[in-house]
Amino acid sequence: MQKVEVQLGERSYSIIIADSFAGLDAGIAASKQVVIISNPTVAALYLPQVQALFPDTAVQHFLLPDGEAFKTLSSFEQVLGFLLEQRMSRELLLVALGGGVIGDLTGFVAACYQRGVDFLQIPTTLLSQVDSSVGGKTAVNHPLGKNMIGAFKQPVQVLINTTVLASLPAREFAAGMAEVIKYALISDAGFFRWLQQHQAQIQQQDAVILAEMIGHCCRMKADIVSRDETEQGERALLNLGHTFGHAIEAWLGYGEWLHGEAVAAGMVMAAKLAASRGWLTAADVAKIRDLLVAFGLPVAAPDSMHISDFIPYMKTDKKVKQGTMRFVLPTAFCQTAVVDDVTEAELTEVFSHGYN
């Protein structure tokens, strides 16, 4: 078992990484009211095990349809309606049992229901284990932009059971690897080399290697969040590839591409933009592409999507300040910075001939 601490003063919490649903804090387990939010696929596999974490509580559950298409204000309202019908109080603990969609939506409900109740993250996808379950970003999507409606709400704990990854479809596992590779590209060349060296073991889901990889990502994110909880500076670097990726998701329709797939293509686009400025070499871009391809990820936007299709979404991105688009770009191999001088003309010049 690994324990990673997110240091946020009175709102500090632990991330437990184990090969079971172990490590729940005794105080959390003694919650008076518990509602588990999940989807039918995950609930069929793990709901009884999670209910058993609360032996002295009558645990209820609410299931939402599976997929990014249901990360909406409508789903948010459905969960709130259920809580109100059940007359849940402020003593409620919400449990997010699922991937990033369930975690983000449950956290947003927790931030709003009776002006805030506790919630526990139990992420069941690789992407949510290494990224979205940690740090307190919660949100739902809107047709005009991804994650544009939400709140910062930290969980009371994160329980990561690495054995649940064995039930993930290969495409979902690959999508999680995009976020893993993102951590390396942000600031950790040594981790990039480690991923290259352990590629086969990761793909075979070697238990020891997976735990080491997940722990490394969680420690990186915990450190960044502890220094910059509400993304006033350094935390924005965690959005590498996301400005392009969110545009792909919104343009295609949420759920057509998985979030990690869009981020993978977005990171290559960010790398190419950086290369056009002389910050990366062609060999650097190739290394990034090769590692993403090795894990079965796309490395280009859809052919049918023109760079002009990206611009409207980029202009509503959360990093925009005073109408200026801002991008997270590599400034060297495995180094990044937020850049605010990218113009539409530059984007058109770099990507006018496609993305490959």
Give the residue numbers marked as catalytic.
115, 137, 179, 221, 231, 235, 239, 242, 246, 259
CB atoms within 10 A of CB 173: 21
Secondary structure (DSSP) of 178-223: HHHHHHHHHH-HHHHHHHHHTHHHHHTT-HHHHHHHHHHHHHHHHH
CA 245 from chain centre, in angstroms, equals 12
Nearest to 105 by CA among 130, 128, 85: 128
Can you say whether residue 23 is alpha, beta or left, with left for phi > 0 and alpha for psi between -120 and 50 degrees? left
Calpha distance 54→33 (Å, rounded) = 10
Calpha distance 149→245 (Å, rounded) = 17
Helices (H), the chain: 26-29, 40-51, 73-85, 100-112, 126-127, 170-187, 189-197, 199-203, 207-227, 242-252, 259-276, 282-294, 307-314, 344-351
Give per-residue burial for 275-314: e unless 16+ CB within 10 Å, then b.
Answer: beeebbeeebbebbbebbebbebbbbbbeebebebbeebb
Please answer whether residues 249 and 147 qualify as being in contact, where contact means their C-beta atoms are separated by less than 8 angstroms.
Answer: no
The two tokens of residue 34 are 């518990």
Three-point CA angle 193, 199, 205, nearest 5°: 135
Nearest to 113 by CA among 86, 142, 141, 146: 86
